[in-house]
Structure 1
């Protein structure tokens, strides 16, 4: 009789350390950026619950413009939430800077494509974004366009950033206020292929216009990779360029006795399409007596119990990534997302590690 393989899953979390690259000319060492995105749908985790001792900047995630006017239509409930977000975080001890992020992984990117392709729609979008930031007391704004799909879209992104920065400077001068911070979340690599189409970020425009970029150094592997396990935020990978140094979602294991990175896998598992929060990973490990392994080669952590394999970042791997970021002269780090940590374990360790390495 053929042996039966129990089908369980590899689960990943998105509470991983991400580097923030400093851009533009620097005359003096700027203070480090210790940032995190706050999911606006996290009803059980209000802004008042954020430990601001661990961060310098908090992003509100997410807003999207109208798909016809390219302006932001803020309804009453969202307006209340935005005001509460900035007021709460500005009055915390210590206070933090606030930015709102536009887009996100679930956004309809066709809106960005259409908006960025015409001067008039770009101007409508830019003007509206500045209005929202000032009206609700934000310190800045962030573009999370995931991702421009071809050279034309990358070119239009460059035009958008140029015009956006100019508008920000003009608005600050006209209102005698400090310029709004201006950042973007980008793919972990400056150039990449999607569906055999090569594209490259407009580096010149990014360097001229953005205060920093949030390089999304995760999702290197996932449910689309359902034949082997893999570290979704590997710092190193000698077999490919899918690693933070170059540039986990979930699987179901075929063989419970093969549990290292690269083991055969079958399919995505439980959780939100195979995703779990860091606190849920900790609960799984405790309840199932899971074996936890730190993988030196990729600088990542995984645990396994039976046929279930979980890849994630913990305090050890995050600390090493902080050292890597500082060795490269990067400006800081950010997390996706605030509500996913487990009693601030990773956030606290990373904040301490950056201070110790200064």
Structure 2
């Protein structure tokens, strides 16, 4: 992360130098980042927030993939909760606290990044699980791996809607986290809807941050965009 900060310093000098005395705009510099400025994996990494704020025009905070069927033992959880789960769910999903979009954005602001340089990510896809017991199907339900969508249960928003309609899935809104999930027999899917995205956009506007982005538009309902490398 120290070297990343130095790299940003060098890039800013380079792009400013490039346009010196020329009638052309300066290149924009941005980065896609973790949803918060600290990555608490096996080794804790802290983003060089001071260098980011000084040198980048904005960052795209990836406010999604908070939970997924990464291993066969992972329980169901929210893909991109706006707020933290409460009670026993909080202990199950996040013993250290603050796995949520609101927590991530607030932590970036608290670390010193300018609000207008902070952009909130919105997922146009879902993650699926196969339940251990179809009758135990709420948030935090035991699972035995990924459901529809392959090894990591990846389903586009269009595929989620199609699946929900084909199998008459039961859609559930979780008020605490402001997130949706669907249940159909042994399958469980977490995703965002128009309603949850609208609430997230309102939250972002209330924070006064730079905006929001989608990952990615090719996953949207009725969208005809092709993926990179395809036609």
Match of 1:191 in 2: 38
SS in 1 for 2:2: helix
Q: How many residues align?
A: 190
Is contact 2:171–2:182 with CA below 8 Å preserved after alignment? yes
SS in 1 for 2:166: helix
SS in 2 for 1:342: coil
Match of 1:253 in 2: 131
Residue 174 of structure 1, CA deviation: 4.3
Match of 1:271 in 2: 149
For the residues of structure 1 that align with 2:46 and 2:5, how far apart are their CA atoms?
11
Is contact 2:182–2:188 with CA below 8 Å preserved after alignment? yes
- State which structure, 1 or 2, has the greater radius of gyration over its C-alpha atoms: 1
For the residues of structure 2 that align with 1:227 and 1:200, how far apart are their CA atoms?
26
Q: For 1:260-339, what aligned pairs fall within 5 Å after superposition?
A: 260-273=138-151, 274-339=153-218
Cα deviation code 1:261-307 (max 9, x no counterpart):
11111111231321011111111011001111111111111111111
Which of 171-180 and 321-330 deviates more? Answer: 171-180
SS in 2 for 1:176: coil
Match of 2:50 in 1: 204
Structure 2 residues without counterparts, runs of 5 or longer: 105-125, 224-231
Match of 1:94 in 2: none
Residue 251 of structure 1, CA deviation: 2.2
Q: For 1:1-358, what aligned pairs fall within 5 Å after superposition?
A: 154-195=1-42, 197-224=43-70, 226-237=73-84, 238=86, 239=90, 240=94, 241-247=98-104, 249-273=127-151, 274-343=153-222
For the residues of structure 2 that align with 1:256 and 1:269, how far apart are their CA atoms?
12
Residue 176 of structure 1, CA deviation: 2.1
Structure 1 runs (4+) greater than 3 angstroms displaced: none
Is contact 2:131–2:186 with CA below 8 Å preserved after alignment? yes
Higher RCO structure, 1 or 2 (CA under 8 Å, sep 6+): 1
Which of 265-274 and 295-304 deviates more? Answer: 265-274
Give me the CA root mean square deviation: 1.4
For the residues of structure 2 that align with 1:251 and 1:341, how far apart are their CA atoms?
21
Cα deviation code 1:27-81 (max 9, x no counterpart):
xxxxxxxxxxxxxxxxxxxxxxxxxxxxxxxxxxxxxxxxxxxxxxxxxxxxxxx
For the residues of structure 1 that align with 2:12 and 2:157, how far apart are their CA atoms?
37
SS in 1 for 2:144: coil
SS in 2 for 1:234: coil
TM-score, normalised to structure 2, is 0.78
